[in-house]
Structures are given as C-alpha cells and as structure tokens.
C-alpha cells in the first residue's frame, strides 16, 4: 500500500486556496476575514491564557507548537501578540499596584496589533480601554471591538483628535505613549493629554531611550534627547532644588511640574503620577 501523502499545513492550505482561486475576489476576501478573525481570537485569549508567560521571557509563544506553526506559515501575524518585553511588563505590574483605585479609563497610543490593549481589558474588564494608532491593523476595526476595546485611527499629534478622545473617554486613569517614539511627538502629546489624567493616575512614556541610540541602530530620526533634563528638573522641583537649565526638556518639566506628584524612572520608560492642578 502506498503511503498516504502528508497533510499540508494550515498556512499552506491558505496559500493553496489563494493560488487556485486567485482571480476570485470573494474568496480572497473570505480568507482575509478568516485570518483577521484568527488574529482577533488569539489576541483576546492572550490576556487569559498566555499573559503571565510574557512576564517570564520574551516571545513565549515560540514554545507553543501551534502558535509557532501559524506564525511560520503566515496565518497569524506576530503583531496580534503582546509586543512588550518582560522588563516593561514587570514595570507595569508594579505601576498597577500603585493605582489608588480601579482604572476607569485607559488610553494606549501605539497599539500595533492590539495585544497589550487586550491585556488591559482582561485585567480591568469594567474599564474603558482605548487604542490609538496611525494605521490600525486590519483586524482592529475603528470603534468598539468584540472584546470591548475602542480603537481609533489617527496621529498622536492631532490636537483636535486628542481633545475629542479626552472629551469622549477621559479623565484617564492611565495613559501610555508607545507611539512614534519621536521626542517632539512625545512632548506634544503629554502637553495636551496630561491634564486629562485623573489625580492619582499615571502618564507613561515608553522607549525614552530611542533618542540616545547611535545613527543606524534604529531607522529614522527620533529627535533631541529631552528626557534626561526633564527627569532631573522634575527631581529638582520635587525637592525645591536649583533653577533648571534652559533646555527643551527642562522647560517641559517646569511647565508640567505643578501637575506631577511622583516621578518613576526605569529601563527605557518613565511615568509620572498626576496630582490635582494648583491654583483656581
């Protein structure tokens, strides 16, 4: 008896269907919808089943043969999974313990494929979770998704958009800037949004190290390194220290210091705890 042929992988079956029906627009749309549904299902389950493994090591999905096969075959994109490294997730674990109350509203700027927004929604099911990105992945339709996350497509420096987000969903218990990582964009965004963080809430800026990298280490220009002077000036304001230097980072700190109750600094990330504005 001749041996039975091996069954093609899921990814190969997808490609086979596409090649056979390459001229069939409806078939292509159906396959694309199936891949999007798979990405959505995986993303929603990360917070339930795999989240703790992301605290232990980077890309733990490589240890799962089914997920690894789907990634290798192109059926699933890595963007659907949590993209934050373990040290950053540990930072958030400590940060969340410092919240004075259960978050009411969370805004993350730069959501990639929605892995981390799905995690926030799993951790805080009663909170409104909003994800903003310049170009949403195809499985993240603008509006409220099936898992309750609200996705918005737009630029983090769009003043009118940020104002509308704050009006619709603020005040925020937690704002995370994981967007362009360009210092000018980060500065513009915090200036506009920090006043829409509730007292006791946190404003987080990720990847504050990009401006210190040598040319060629990352593609593009991430601007001037403002965060070293920002941190030192906030520290001086908290301890009523000497006058700050006249630099962009120091000027930003001087402007925002009346709103800052605490400053937390860790590897490649910083966070400020917001207090009520002083004065009338």
pLDDT in tens, 101-133: 999 999 999 999 999 999 999 899 999 999 999
Query: Considering the domain boundaries, does residue 5 fall inside one?
Result: no
- Between strands 172-177 and 105-109, the pairing is parallel
* 144 compared with 12, residue with greater pLDDT: 144
pLDDT at position 184 over 50: yes
pLDDT at 278 (0 to 100): 47
Query: Which tops the pLDDT comparison, 100 or 161?
Result: 161
Nearest Cα to Cα of residue 95 among 243, 223, 266: 266
Q: Which domain holds residue 25?
A: 10-80
What percentage of the chain has pLDDT greater than the value 90?
50
- Which of these three, 22, 54, 80, is where a domain ends? 80
Tell me, yes or no, whether 72 and 179 share the same domain: no
Identify the H or E element spanning 173: strand 172-177
In a domain, 3, yes or no: no
Q: Of 80, 102, 127, which residue constitutes the final position of a domain?
A: 80
Classify residue 161: in a domain, yes or no. Answer: yes
**What is the reported pTM?**
0.85
127-168 per-position pLDDT tens digit: 999 999 999 998 898 877 777 899 999 999 999 999 999 999
Among 49, 80, 111, give the residue marking a domain's end. Answer: 80
């Amino acid at each position: 008896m001749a041996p039975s042929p091996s069954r093609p992988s899921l990814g190969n079956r997808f490609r086979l269907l596409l090649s056979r029906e390459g001229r069939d627009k409806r078939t292509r749309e159906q396959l694309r919808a199936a891949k999007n549904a798979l990405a959505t299902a995986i993303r929603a389950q990360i917070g339930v089943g795999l989240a703790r493994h992301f605290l232990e090591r980077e890309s733990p999905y490589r240890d799962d043969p089914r997920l690894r096969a789907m990634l290798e075959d192109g059926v699933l994109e890595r963007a659907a999974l949590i993209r934050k490294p373990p040290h950053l997730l540990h930072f958030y674990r400590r940060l969340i313990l410092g919240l004075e109350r259960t978050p009411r509203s969370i805004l993350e700027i730069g959501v990639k494929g929605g892995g981390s927004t799905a995690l926030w929604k799993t951790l805080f099911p009663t909170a409104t979770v909003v994800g903003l990105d310049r170009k949403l992945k195809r499985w993240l339709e603008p509006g409220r998704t099936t898992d309750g996350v609200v996705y918005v497509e737009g630029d983090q420096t769009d003043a009118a958009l940020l104002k509308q987000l704050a009006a619709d969903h603020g005040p925020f218990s937690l704002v995370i800037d994981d967007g362009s990582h360009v210092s000018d964009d980060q500065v513009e965004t915090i200036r506009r949004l920090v006043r829409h963080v509730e007292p006791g809430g946190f404003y987080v800026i990720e990847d504050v190290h990009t401006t210190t990298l040598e040319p060629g280490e990352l593609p593009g220009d991430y601007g001037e390194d403002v965060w070293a002077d920002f941190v030192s000036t906030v520290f001086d304001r908290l301890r009523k220290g000497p006058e700050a230097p006249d630099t962009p980072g120091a000027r930003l700190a001087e402007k925002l210091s009346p709103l800052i109750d605490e400053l937390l600094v860790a590897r490649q990330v910083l966070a400020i705890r917001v207090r009520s504005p002083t004065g009338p």
